[in-house]
Amino acid sequence: MPKPNNTLSSEKFTAFTDSGTEARFPIVRMRRNRSSGSVRRLVAENHLTPNDLILPIFVINGKNRCEPIASMPGIDRLSIDLVPQCAEAAFKLGIPAVALFPCTDQELKTADGREAFNPNNLICRAIRSIKKTTPELVIICDVALDPYTTHGQDGLIDGEVVLNDETLEVLAKQAITQADAGCDTIAPSDMMDGRVCAIRKALDTDGFKQVRIMSYSAKYASAFYGPFRDAIGSQIILRGDKKTYQMDPANSDEALREAALDIAEGADMLLVKPGMPYLDIVHQIKNTFHMPTFVYQVSGEYAMLKAAAQNGWIDHDTAMLEALLSFKRAGADGVISYYALEAAALLDQNLF
């Protein structure tokens, strides 16, 4: 086989001295700009700050309950009375937003997920409690039915089939319920076709024109969601899988089509989930659409890093910040991460 022609790519990076001599070692020494922490900070191309972080919070019923999640070391389910303290702590560290997820009591789950649009459900009460103490904090609410259904699917079902169009009406009702409670940003994660349009129309019709939509535009059918499903209690009840509506991990062009449709339907922000296995998708979406683009460092990613650190295989803090910085380098404007509090504390103290 003939060797590939690399002339163009090499010329792109060729520099010359004043005398016309090609600049290379020893004239060029790349290590000069790596010689100290100060110069490395000076020439850094990407920066991670608390402003880039969104903290997920798992909400449970009861009072004064702080329930550890075994598969996510360091992360707890919090009762509503403890949620405002967590949210306020995040805001004081410079974190601008939280994302709320409910762990609904089993007796409240139904096949049609009607608890999703109960104005006194866990999420609505948590929204109101946060707004009383930290009104400036941006609250992001997930729109999907899996925390509320007896079958664990994100939409209504008929036998084994997840219904698309019938689900849209319920998702719109869920979004209106959350907006009425004070939610700032609706985040549909269900991956039903047309859900952004249905939610945008419902919000506008009901007077919530300023409530934004952060669409899970590229949400993949991933194996990295396991600990999250434990956290919200859907893992043990999930019937089947979600491959008929979540994206195939083999596809990237499809992600661009999904994002384009969501933009056309009224999305204000786009989100890619999971994170690190899909950095290429983050990069493509950001560079194609130039929209506010976010990424979710999901529970499985968090659990892997935590487990490796607990076994002494990696340095916890360095690996955590390296992973978060990779999302910024790929083009993300912000990251939903279970590491948000830990990372913000380190960044606030200028320890990295």
- Tell me how crowded residue 207 is: count the other CB atoms within 10 A of its CB: 11
Q: Do 72 and 306 touch, CB atoms closer than 8 A?
A: yes
- Tell me how crowded residue 221 is: count the other CB atoms within 10 A of its CB: 15
Say whether 109 is catalytic. Answer: no
CA 165, chain centre distance (Å): 25
1 Cβ partners below 8 Å, 6+ apart?
Answer: none
Say whether 273 is catalytic. Answer: yes
Rounded distance between C-alpha atoms, residue 260 and residue 302, angstroms: 29
Q: Which of 131, 219, 242, 306 does the annotation list as catalytic?
A: 219
Q: Which of 131, 273, 286, 306 does the annotation list as catalytic?
A: 273
Angle at 302 (CA atoms; ends 220, 263), nearest 5 degrees: 35
Rounded distance between C-alpha atoms, residue 333 and residue 87, angstroms: 21
Q: Do 203 and 214 touch, CB atoms closer than 8 A?
A: no
DSSP per-residue codes, 134-197: -TTSEEEEEE-STTTBSS--SS-EETTEEPSHHHHHHHHHHHHHHHHHT-SEEEE-S--TTHHH
Rounded distance between C-alpha atoms, residue 60 and residue 101, angstroms: 9
256 Cβ partners below 8 Å, 6+ apart?
Answer: 284, 285, 288
Q: Do 57 and 337 touch, CB atoms closer than 8 A?
A: no
The residues carrying an active-site annotation are 219, 273
